[in-house]
């Protein structure tokens, strides 16, 4: 299977204008940096049955008051007219303001948002999915059940840009301080490669690119027959390889810093992202089932839960 070229097709899910509005400044920067064309950026809204809510609130299900097929069709049509179409028109206009594109491809589908977004990314050849969290009220809760969590558990090849809640200060580039998690895996190399494509185009805007490898505390227990010294050497090699990839892409060597820390990878990466005031964080996204995440945890999940303010790039 041929991998979709980076930044070739962009999908922007639109759920609510408040969360959608947060992604637009970054979309505009990405659009100009990668010199995208209007037909490469698409909007999507998934209708998940919310048009039935008002009807169900006034119905007595126990008495058999269930909407008929005709009711469903009428309610959906009214919902589209009153809510979806005006929202998508406004979303398209807002996109036009940050991209200067006159053509604004917009489409919608019925179903489960996670399944629909994943299916469209797979079969539509989308390289990039740009999203934001729904709102600050999600911060206190685990991501289980959210659209973001659901997408993370899928095996889509699309790179996910999860735009942070914190707005950048005027004059500060989103590429100013980049943190890249390095572990020598294919997913990590993908994150470095995608970062290189972007950063090579914005050299003047870069202050620092920090490559971070975390020695997992499990190496003390030597469970896999690998000592901490061996793990440290492997980590140093992975950092050197990542640095070479970035310089080959066009990032200047003097802007790249490498460091090795010890601890739980997700926790250390999150702490470093805050300490260095990272404007963009790149990490590899491994395919992992929901059950495995429950028992083993996930660097991606740790980062998303602990770095709401940061924009995180999850590369598969």
Q: Domain 166-315: what homologous superfamily?
A: HUPs (3.40.50.620)
46-55, 105-114, 123-132: which has the minimum mean pLDDT? 46-55
4-13, 20-29, 61-70, 119-128: which has the minimum mean pLDDT? 61-70
Choose between 255 and 77: higher pLDDT.
255
Token pair listed for 17: 């204008």
CB count within 10 Å of CB 237 equals 12
In this prediction, residue 296 carries a pLDDT of: 37
> Are 88 and 14 spatial neighbours (Cβ–Cβ below 8 Å)?
yes
Map out the domains of the chain as residue ranges: 10-152, 166-315
CA dihedral 3, 154, 286, 265 (to 10 degrees): 140
Nearest CA to 94 out of 24, 191, 177, 175 is that of: 24
Same fold, 10-152 and 166-315: yes
Band of pLDDT at residue 163, cut at 50, 70 and 90: very high
Nearest CA to 268 out of 201, 202, 216, 193 is that of: 216
Band of pLDDT at residue 233, cut at 50, 70 and 90: confident
- Look at the domain 10-152 and name its fold: Rossmann fold (3.40.50)
Find tokens 């036009």 and name the residue.
96
Residue 168 has pLDDT above 90, yes or no: no
CA dihedral 250, 247, 198, 210 (to 10 degrees): -140
pTM for the model? 0.86
* Neighbour-count burial for 190-203, b at 16+ CB within 10 Å, e otherwise: bbbbbbbebbbebe
């Amino acid at each position: 299977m041929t991998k979709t070229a980076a930044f070739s097709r962009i999908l922007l899910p639109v759920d609510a204008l408040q969360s959608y509005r947060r992604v637009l400044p970054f979309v505009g920067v990405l659009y100009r940096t990668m010199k995208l064309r209007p037909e490469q950026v698409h909007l999507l809204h998934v209708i998940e049955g919310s048009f039935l809510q008002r009807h169900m609130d006034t119905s007595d299900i126990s008495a058999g008051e269930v909407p008929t097929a005709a009711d469903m069709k009428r309610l959906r049509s009214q919902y589209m007219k009153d809510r979806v179409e005006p929202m998508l028109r406004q979303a398209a206009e807002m996109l036009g303001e940050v991209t200067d594109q006159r053509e604004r491809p917009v489409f919608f589908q019925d179903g489960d948002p996670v399944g629909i977004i994943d299916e469209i990314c797979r079969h539509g050849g989308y390289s990039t999915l740009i999203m934001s969290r729904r709102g600050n009220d999600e911060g206190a809760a685990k991501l289980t059940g959210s659209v973001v969590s659901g997408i993370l558990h899928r095996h889509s090849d699309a790179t996910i840009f999860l735009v942070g809640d914190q707005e950048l200060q005027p004059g500060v580039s989103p590429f100013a301080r980049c943190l890249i998690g390095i572990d020598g895996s294919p997913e990590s190399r993908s994150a470095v490669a995608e970062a290189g494509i972007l950063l090579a185009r914005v050299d003047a805007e870069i202050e620092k690119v920090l490559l971070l490898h975390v020695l997992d505390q499990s190496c003390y227990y030597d469970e896999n027959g690998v000592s901490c010294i061996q793990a440290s050497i492997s980590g140093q090699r992975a950092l050197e390889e990542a640095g070479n990839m970035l310089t080959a892409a066009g990032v200047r060597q003097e802007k790249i810093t490498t460091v090795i820390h010890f601890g739980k990878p997700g926790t250390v990466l999150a702490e470093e992202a805050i300490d260095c005031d990272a404007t963009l964080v790149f990490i590899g996204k491994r395919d992992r089932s929901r059950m495995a995440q429950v028992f083993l945890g996930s660097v991606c999940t740790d980062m998303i839960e602990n770095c709401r303010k940061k924009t995180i790039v999850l590369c598969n």
